[in-house]
Amino acid sequence: MKKITILYLLFFGTSLAAQAKFELTPQGFAPVEIQRPEKVNEKLIEITRSWADSYNKKEYDIYDVTENSMTVDAVKENAFYYRNVGEIFYYKIVYSLKLNFGTNTIMTTFSVKEIFQKKTPVRGTIADYFTSDGKMKEDFEEIKPSLEQTANNILYSYSNFIAE
String of DSSP letters for 60-72: EEEE---SSEEEE
Count: domains in the chain: 1
Bridge-based pairing state of the strands 60-63 and 120-121: unpaired
Which residues, in sequence order, are bridge partners of residue 136? Answer: 130
What integer pLDDT is reported at residue 36 of this predicted model? 95
The closest of 27, 150, 156, 139 to 83, measured between CA atoms, is: 139
Alpha-carbon distance of 111 to 95, in angstroms, equals 6
What integer pLDDT is reported at residue 2 of this predicted model? 54
* Domain containing residue 13: 2-163
| Residue 100 φ/ψ region, left for φ over 0, alpha for ψ in the -120 to 50 degree band, beta for the rest | beta
What integer pLDDT is reported at residue 31 of this predicted model? 96
The closest of 159, 137, 143 to 81, measured between CA atoms, is: 143
Q: Dihedral of CA 144/146/147/151: which sign?
A: positive
What integer pLDDT is reported at residue 86 of this predicted model? 85
Predicted TM-score (pTM) of this structure: 0.85
Alpha helices in the chain (DSSP H): 2-18, 41-56, 143-163
CATH number at 151 reads 3.30.530
Residue-by-residue pLDDT tens, the chain, 164 positions? 555 544 444 444 434 435 789 999 999 999 999 999 999 999 999 999 999 999 988 789 999 999 999 999 999 999 999 888 889 999 999 999 999 999 999 999 999 999 999 889 998 888 998 999 989 988 888 999 999 999 999 999 999 999 98
List all residues 6 or more positions away from 68 whose beta carbon is below 8 Å from its beta carbon: 41, 100, 101, 102
Contact 106, 33 (CB under 8 A): yes
